[in-house]
Amino acid sequence: MAKLYFYYASMNAGKSSTLLQAAFNYGERDMRVSLWTAAIDDRPGFGAISSRIGLASDAHRFQADTDIAGRVLEEHEEAELACVLVDEAQFLTREQVWQLAGLADRHGIPVVCYGLRTDFQGELFPGSAALLGIADALVELKAVCHCGRKATMNLRVDASGKAVKQGAQTEIGGNDRYVALCRKHFTQALQ
C-alpha cells in the first residue's frame, strides 16, 4: 500500500539533497518520479530543486491553486510513476496535502514530501500542519546548531545578521536570511 510521507526539519538539514538522492535512486532502477517544488521561490535556480551541496533537478512548480493530483495523474497515464517527490512542502495548501494523500490512497502512488515544520516565529506552516496531521509516516531530518545540539528552529536575520522578530510568514531566502538554531539559542537571539 502506498503511503504519504513527510520529511521535515529546520533549514540546512539536507531535505532537498535527500529528495534528489531518492529521485536518483528511482532513476537508477529505470523508475519514473514526478518532482514538485513551490513556485514562490524566485531565487537563482527557480523551478529547480537544488541543494546547498550542488545537486539540482528541474521540477514542476505548484502554486496555491495548482491541482497537483490532476497533473500527476495525467503524467501517470503517459507512463507509470513510481513516486511523487515534493520539495518545499510547507508551501502546500491543506487541500493540496489531501490531494497528495488521495494519490497514495486511491491510486497507489507513494508521495514523499520534504519541508520546514515551522517558520521564523516557531509557528507551523499550513502545509506542514496538514502533513503532520495526516501523513502515514513522519521523519525528522537533523540539522546542527552552532552549539552542537539539534537545530529545530529557523531564525530569520536581517542584512546585518540581527534577529528579525516580525514580518510575513513567507520570505524566501537561504543562509543570508535564515540560521538554523536549537530552541535555546533561538530564544536567546530573540531577546
One-letter amino acid of 83: C
Answer yes or no: is 110 within a domain. yes
Answer yes or no: is 179 within a domain. no
Convert the pLDDT of each residue in 133-148 to its tens digit. 999 999 999 999 999 9
Kindly list the catalytic residues: 88
Answer yes or no: is 152 within a domain. no
Q: 63 lies in which domain range?
A: 4-141
Q: Report the predicted TM-score, pTM, of the whole model to 2 decimal places.
A: 0.90
| Region of residue 122 (left: phi > 0; alpha: psi -120 to 50; beta: else) | left
Answer yes or no: is 186 within a domain. no
Convert the pLDDT of each residue in 71-99 to its tens digit. 999 999 999 999 999 999 999 999 999 99
**Percent of the chain topping pLDDT 90:** 68
One-letter amino acid of 29: R
pLDDT for the residue numbered 42: 61
Count of domains for the chain: 1
In the three-class reduction of DSSP (H, G, I as helix; E, B as strand; rest coil), residue 172 is classed as coil
Backbone φ, ψ for residue 174 (5° rounding): -115, -135
Answer yes or no: is 187 within a domain. no
Kindly state the cell numbers that stand for 18: 535527500
Convert the pLDDT of each residue in 17-52 to its tens digit. 899 999 999 999 999 999 999 987 665 555 587 777
Question: Would you say how long the chain is, in residues?
Answer: 191
Q: Is the dihedral of CA 184, 179, 97, 4 positive or negative?
A: negative
Helix axes 94-107, 68-78, angle to 10 degrees: 30
CATH of the domain at 50: 3.40.50.300
pLDDT for the residue numbered 130: 98
